[in-house]
Amino acid sequence: MARITYFLFCVSLALQLIFFYTSMAKPATFYDDFHITWSETHIKQMESGTAIQLLLDQSSGCGFASKMKYMYGRVSMKIKLIPGDSAGTVTAFYMNSDTNLIRDELDFEFLGNRSGQPYTVQTNIFAHGKGDREQRVNLWFDPATEFHTYSILWNRHHIVFSIDDIPIRVYKNNEAKGVPYPNSQPMGVFSTLWEADNWATRGGLEKIDWTKAPFYAYYRDFDIEGCTVPGPAGCTTKTNNWWEAPSYQQLDPIQARKYRWVRLNHMIYDYCKDKSRYPVPPRECLAGI
């Protein structure tokens, strides 16, 4: 009985200490993990630094990046996109190895549109310097009225792009079948708001209406969980990180059902099915990913 009482006392004390240190901890701010990469005057901190506003006008867009690079993990942000007529604008959230010749990159690109038309999300994957793996999905909600969570899970088994925990794209590790997979370079987290009316909306047919400027996008709740590089040895092979657990190595049945729903009802472009670009489908398409 004495041992049980002592054990319960220890558990109670540990819980109190956890609560104390958690309650004393400050919420993460933008500058804890990120720095501005260009046009500092166009990024404004809000909500005591836990949120930011990005601005695009005729003089400049803007961008920011994480202070560290990561080897596998998950990154997520809540974003509220440009409202109304956003044609020709691109709000991008992505991971990048920041290596010019042979780069790895995982892209979320939000392509603006004319008022009343749905926002399009383009995803792309660069592995060992090769990209051109675009897929496009029309959003089933208005992403400018409230915040939604956009996340990228990257581990040794697959890459999953998700919106509000709904998978919209999965890219499996099929290196055994000769398909390149980003697994040799750490990546930083980046975001930009910029003008791209030469291609972003209807292939460049819709131009930015600068009478609607300035354009604003908002970010908050920055969350990066990954193996920091430079950091502990064994980042590339460590198996005890939560993102490498068996439950994260493939979609569960509920996620798989949501994934099929997105692809059946909201996908508008898949490079794997673009026979004009690829008369012979790329190898990863033949691998069933």
CA distance linking residue 286 with residue 289, whole number of Å? 8
Concatenating the DSSP letter of every residue in 220-263 gives EEEEEEEEEES-STTTTT---SGGGSGGGSS--HHHHHHHHHHH
CA distance linking residue 134 with residue 53, whole number of Å? 28
Helix, strand, or coil (residue 26): coil
Percent helix, strand, coil in the chain, to 5, is 25, 35, 40
Maximum CA pair distance of the chain?
78
Q: Tell me which of 40, 47, 105, 146 is the catalytic residue.
A: 105
109 is catalytic: yes
Contact status, residue 155 vs residue 243, Cβ threshold 8 Å = yes
Q: Tell me which of 109, 195, 206, 284 is the catalytic residue.
A: 109
47 is catalytic: no
Concatenating the DSSP letter of every residue in 178-199 gives T-----SS-BEEEEEEEE-TTT
Residue 202 phi, psi dihedral angles, 5° rounding: 50, 45
Which active-site residues does the annotation give? Answer: 105, 109
